Amino acid sequence: MADSCIAGFAEELDDLAKEYESMKELHKKYKEKLEEVQSMQKKCATLVGHQKKRYKEIGDGIKEKSQGLSGEEKAKCNELKKLVEDRKKNCSEVLDTLPRSNNFFLSTTLGPVSVSILSKKDRFAYKEEYEQFKLYLSIIMLVGATINTFFIKNRICDACYHFLLVWYYCTLVIRESILRHNGSRIKGWWVVHHYLTVLLTSILLIWPDSVSYRMFRNQFMLFSLYLSVVQLMQYYYQSGCLYRLRALGEKSDMYITVEGFQNWMWRGLTFLLPFLFVAYTWQFYNAYSLYQISKHPECNEWMVPIASLIFFCLFLGNLITTSGVILNKLKAKQSTTSSPKNKGS
């Protein structure tokens, strides 16, 4: 009985032998190609580096020599300048598809592992996953803040909620650094904002259950609840932008026109901005309330003035950055509508 079983296994192994050999052959080819790709990446990086350096030198030279020129010579210089700019842009596009070394934060946090995402499609997919992560966490935070505001008033539950916030903002800092490494235009302030929020939520986590804590607790939970709702609106706006930008990037016939994208963006912003400015006012109010609490005779905790200062920094940074973003968008809108190319489109 045992003998026939073993013979059966041997037969099965014999059957698999051919497939095993072809798998080994394929894997060998795969390793060779991988080595080839890596050596091509290195060669490309060296060539692009050299090209970029030379275009910078040539561009500077043309700029210097074109001063004081006029007529045909000036026109020739402008033509050359345009050529240099086009080539530089193409070099940047090539660089986008090559692995880059991590910046200081990423290399100290993740080590020397490469986080370069080499295809546009994968970059969109990573950004989409990041937006979805924020959506799910905003929903969880909304539920947590609702429970803590209206149903359970317990320091341990509060601590669990604060811990969730610390973890969430830490992951955002890492994810956003990866996004920025891969060409996302996320403003530096939003990353700083998340560092400050990690600090703030850590302070809330270790703040003892004292008079000062209880004076601020309900206000903070209500603020968190409101912020979670605003984050859901932000998700709707950001994922809408992402969807439309992807369509613009992928479709050659551009069925969504740039103008169509702009219209959608402005509608989204007009809806979102009042809610954002209410959140900033509330941040200012939190800073003010904490400052008042810090002067209370029974307040001995160092956390109170520090939290007040952080809320104030968040308020100021958010207000300045968001206003700057809107002003830049308005300027860009004006310049596109006044450019002759777009008139009548």
Q: Where does this chain bind ligand COA (CB under 6 A)?
A: 127, 179, 184-186, 190, 227, 234, 237-238, 241, 272, 276, 279, 318, 322, 325
Q: How far is the CB of 131 from ligand COA (least distance, A)?
A: 8
Q: How far is the CB of 186 from ligand COA (least distance, A)?
A: 4
Residues 6 or more apart whose Cβ sits within 8 Å of residue 6 = none
Q: How far is the CB of 322 from ligand COA (least distance, A)?
A: 5
Q: How far is the CB of 139 from ligand COA (least distance, A)?
A: 16
Q: How far is the CB of 149 from ligand COA (least distance, A)?
A: 18
Q: Give, as one character, the DSSP assignment of residue 147.
A: I
Are 173 and 186 in contact by the 8 Å Cβ rule? The answer is no
Strand stretches in 16-93, DSSP E: none
Report which residue's Cβ sits closest to ligand COA.
184
Q: How far is the CB of 76 from ligand COA (least distance, A)?
A: 36
Cα dihedral angle (61, 63, 69, 72), rounded to 10 degrees? 90
Return the closest-CA partner of residue 311 out of 208, 229, 203. 203
Cα dihedral angle (293, 299, 300, 305), rounded to 10 degrees? 0
At 61, the amino acid letter reads G
Q: How far is the CB of 296 from ligand COA (least distance, A)?
A: 26
Our CB check for ligand COA shows the closer of 237 and 285 to be: 237
Q: Give, as one character, the DSSP assignment of residue 296.
A: S
Backbone phi, psi, residue 296, to 5°: -70, 140
Our CB check for ligand COA shows the closer of 84 and 172 to be: 172
Residue 125 token pair? 């997919």
Our CB check for ligand COA shows the closer of 184 and 202 to be: 184
- Dihedral over Cα of 296, 298, 304, 305: its sign: positive
Return the closest-CA partner of residue 183 out of 104, 264, 115, 109. 115
Q: How far is Cα 51 from Cα 46, in angstroms, rounded to an integer?
A: 9
Our CB check for ligand COA shows the closer of 84 and 165 to be: 165
Q: How far is Cα 171 from Cα 24, in angstroms, rounded to an integer?
A: 40
